[in-house]
Amino acid sequence: MDFSLGRGEICALLGPNGAGKSTLLRILTGSLRPVQGEARVCGEPVYGAGGEVRRRFGYLPEHNPLYPDMYVVEYLDFIARIYAVPRRVERMREVVARTLLGEVLAKPVRALSRGFRQRLGLAAALLPDPEVLVLDEPLSGLDPNQQEQILALLAELREKKCILFSTHTIGEAEKIATRVLILCRGELRENRLVNSAEPAGLLEKQFRDLTR
């Protein structure tokens, strides 16, 4: 597969189970080395350029790697220190407000619901204010109200960032995506812009036609 994304784009990565969505995101974020080919972030190769390029993206993996014995505020402070985030306390407050984590800051991570864990993972990805956001199923486990809030946040962040997110829900893609990638059996079957004026159900029909 071959594709590129630019600043201001929100790209939805669609595909059936086993299509290769999570594998692709792991390659793009340096978690998995490709057998061949090259992945670049902000023009720099993910492998072979040291750790600096990895500071330019935030990553929320499918299985959110949290520390259950930490308190939420401790975890955020830990991530902020790892990335040497400037104005650490102020940045933490900004991210907590955007991801609606204020009510659980004093709770241990192990006590959080699935939805709050997802929001905490998103907050950690946002802390270093990356240029690129790579999110694997970011709305998984969120109730409908929380989903709307996170979608609104991603739409707001779009102006200054490039966002790539995977999802099984075509409705999520239709709401905010400016581009869609459709994967099937490890192959990129479609790469196109999303037209807000296109007929309802067109993307779902295209998905079914390409992934049967």
C-beta of residue 190 within 8 angstroms of C-beta of residue 167: no
DSSP 37: S
> Bridge partners of 182?
14, 190
Quick one: pLDDT at residue 125? 95
What residue ranges in 73-175 does DSSP mark as E strands? 132-136, 162-166
- pLDDT tens by residue, 167-184: 988 888 888 899 999 999
Could you tell me the pTM of the whole model?
0.90
What is the rounded distance in angstroms from the CA atom of residue 70 to the CA atom of residue 106?
10
Predicted confidence (pLDDT) per residue in 31-90, tens digit: 888 888 888 888 888 876 556 777 788 999 988 889 999 999 999 999 999 999 999 999
What are the tens digits of pLDDT across the range 139-156? 887 888 888 888 888 888
Domain 10-211 classified CATH 3.10.129.10?
no
99 CB-side CA count, 13 A: 27
Nearest to 98 by CA among 54, 156, 141, 138: 156
**Beta strand pairing call for 44-45 and 40-41:** antiparallel
